[in-house]
Amino acid sequence: MTGPGLDEIEAWFDAVLSGRVTRDEADRWAMRWLRDDSAGLVELDAEQLWALDLLGGIDLPDGSGAGFLHSEEQVREWRDEVRVRRRQSA
């Protein structure tokens, strides 16, 4: 089985940025794919691994516990980079 394409991963970043899903939901979705990959159940290429790894840490708390380690701006930059890489691979 192959994992999600960059288009689907990009959609998860969009959903977080628009508030349609929580960071926790996005993290759990990404981590499911990463766990399955490490168990040999899913084949992921380098681009998928890179993007899922970013999404998989999206809900990490900052040191104060009042917010997230990665700002909304950083998440937007990640989404934009996924978008660029998706278009380049098309």
DSSP 2-58: B---HHHHHHHHHHHHHTSS-HHHHHHHHHHHHHHHHTTSSB--HHHHHHHHHHHTT
> Above 80 in pLDDT, residue 49?
yes
> What is the model's pTM?
0.91
Task: Report residue 63's pLDDT band, with 50, 70 and 90 as the boundaries.
Answer: confident
